[in-house]
Amino acid sequence: MNTLIAFYQNIGPALSLLVFLTFLLAGAVKGVIGLGLPTIAMGLLGLAMAPAQAAALLIVPSTLTNLWQLAAGGHLLALLRRLGPMLVMIVLGTLLGSAWLGINNGPWAAQALGAALLAYSVYGLVGRGFQVPPAWEVWLGPVCGLVTGVVTAATGVFVMPAVPFLQSLGLSRDEMIQALGLSFTVSTLALAVGLAGQDALGGQALGASLLMLAPALLGMLAGQWLRQRISAALFKRCFFVGLAVLGGHLLVNG
């Protein structure tokens, strides 16, 4: 138990409250639109702590909420066969990126995070849907996986370009939700291995991350309740606008 709370004793009550509220909000966003937990967590926590520290905190909540999302639907085996090459390259790209770049405390780390958030928000706001021809999927999937892995290793954000690629495959709603859960689960686990290799994911960090599972799940349940009562399209637009502001701030000010 001492290991679980030592991290929050060290960072103080104000930052501990920020961490708690961040995961509550991130869980709620995921509950409404099916994604956004690590993106929100990295963006907001990146304002107050090093990206490596923020990434370590999201490992347990991101893994378990994505496994929850992954369990929904009956398309897992088919998706594993179809997305297997991309998922393998996500792991390879994350491990290579961790050895090459890593989420460190360098002056570029926060700017890289801001650039990733800004790129994703611009795509979410103005990107037009496109369909990948079956012949392209064979090679484009692994390429997107490799790039996603490197971006994950550098920023802790694993939505680009994996999410646009998955959205281009013509999946049904249930398949898409499960595919996102699968991609994000693999990315989170690969990121955990990369962080451990950089000595950024010890017992204290894992304990601190475990404590954030409760607000993330609470927020996710609240978001699922809220999804039935608001316009998901309007909520998603507001999400991307806020993410663009956040990403721009990190990009400019670091």
The alpha carbon torsion through 235, 237, 242, 245 (nearest 10 deg) reads: 180
What type of residue is 101? L
Q: What gap in Å lies between CA 246 and CA 47, rounded to an integer?
A: 9
pLDDT digits (tens, 9 = 90+) for 185-199: 999 999 999 998 888
Q: What gap in Å lies between CA 8 and CA 213, rounded to an integer?
A: 15
Q: What gap in Å lies between CA 194 and CA 111, rounded to an integer?
A: 20
Domain count, the chain: 1
Residue 7 has pLDDT above 60, yes or no: yes
Give the range with max mean pLDDT: 25-39, 75-89, 152-166. Answer: 75-89
pTM score, whole prediction: 0.86
Tokens for 10, please give them: 């060290």
The answer for residues whose C-beta is within 8 angstroms of residue 2's C-beta and 6 or more apart is none
| Helical pair 134-155 and 109-126, crossing angle rounded to 10 deg | 140
Residue 81 has pLDDT above 90, yes or no: yes
- Which residues span the domain enclosing 194? 2-253
Best CA proximity match to 242, nearest among 10, 25, 1, 97:
25
Q: What gap in Å lies between CA 32 and CA 221, rounded to an integer?
A: 9
Q: Are 145 and 85 in contact (CB under 8 A)?
A: yes
Give the range with max mean pLDDT: 103-117, 133-147, 232-246. Answer: 133-147
Range with the lowest mean pLDDT among 19-33, 105-119, 135-149, 201-215?
Answer: 105-119
Best CA proximity match to 187, nearest among 87, 71, 100:
87
